[in-house]
Amino acid sequence: MLVQGKKVLLTGGSRGIGRALVLGYLREGASVWYLGRSRGGDEYEGAAREQGLRVVFRECDVADEEALGAAAKDAMKEAGGFDVLVNNAGITRDGLSLRMAMKDWHDVIATNLTAAFVLSKLVVQDMFMKKIPGAVVNISSIVGVTGNGGQVNYSASKAGLIGLTKSLAREVAPRNIRVNAVAPGFIRTAMTDRLTEDQKKALAAQIPMVRLGEPEDVARAALFLSCDLSSYITGHVLHVTGGLGM
């Protein structure tokens, strides 16, 4: 088991990549606390029980800094500290730059970037104090590397997350805390479900592996970056894109 006995805090565990993360960490032996606006399926409790592990949901809107801080502190107190933090919650509010409402800019930056900073600050400080050799994994996106028309807010938030990852990685590396990012390409979740079948086919045609990714493809990369298999890797951005954007 890759993360046996570890405690993981993650955001946005209700569905999609977050669901694959919760089930992936449980399968590999970790207890999971997840923060979000809605809870995941009953399957989580079943998977935890099978392994004698815990899965705990704390309701909060990660874009609300105060609520996020309170929920994280509550979870840290209950868990007694986390070995792994995964900043996964994210939204899109697409539109062309020249027509983009400022609310769509601020909502995306608050959810995708500021929340990751708020949470990393709290959890990493706790790792410092408890001398935990921790791992932070930020779920960025390939469009944070390449840019994408119609997604100036989303791309900026995901590029910001990469800057945050590399800067924080430099600051905490001497304490044996590693900070990495995963940059998924197009993954089959609610976020991409709104595309038509024709749009999905056109997208797949641009991907060297000629298919969209699955949430589990991303969860496996996050697991790798959270465990000892990646013990000498920090400040890295791992593309999980089927070759898109290489």
Interface with ligand NAP by CB under 6 A: which residues? 11-18, 36-38, 61-63, 88-91, 111, 139, 141, 184, 186-187, 189-192
Q: Quick one: 117 or 175, whose CB is closer to ligand NAP?
A: 117
44 flagged as catalytic = no
Catalytic residue among 34, 44, 154, 232: 154
Specify burial of residue 131 (Cβ count, 10 A radius: 0-12, 13-18, 19+): exposed
Q: How far is the CB of 51 from ligand NAP (least distance, A)?
A: 22
Give the CA count within 13 Å in the CB-facing half-sphere of 16. Answer: 19
Q: Quick one: 15 or 27, whose CB is closer to ligand NAP?
A: 15
Amino acid, res. 92:
T
Q: Quick one: 55 or 139, whose CB is closer to ligand NAP?
A: 139
Specify burial of residue 99 (Cβ count, 10 A radius: 0-12, 13-18, 19+): exposed
> Count of CB atoms within 10 A of residue 54's CB?
16
Q: How far is the CB of 221 from ligand NAP (least distance, A)?
A: 11
Q: Quick one: 20 or 132, whose CB is closer to ligand NAP?
A: 20
Q: How far is the CB of 232 from ligand NAP (least distance, A)?
A: 26
> Count of CB atoms within 10 A of residue 194's CB?
9
Question: How many angstroms separate the CA atoms of 24 and 210, rounded?
Answer: 25
The residues that are catalytic are 154
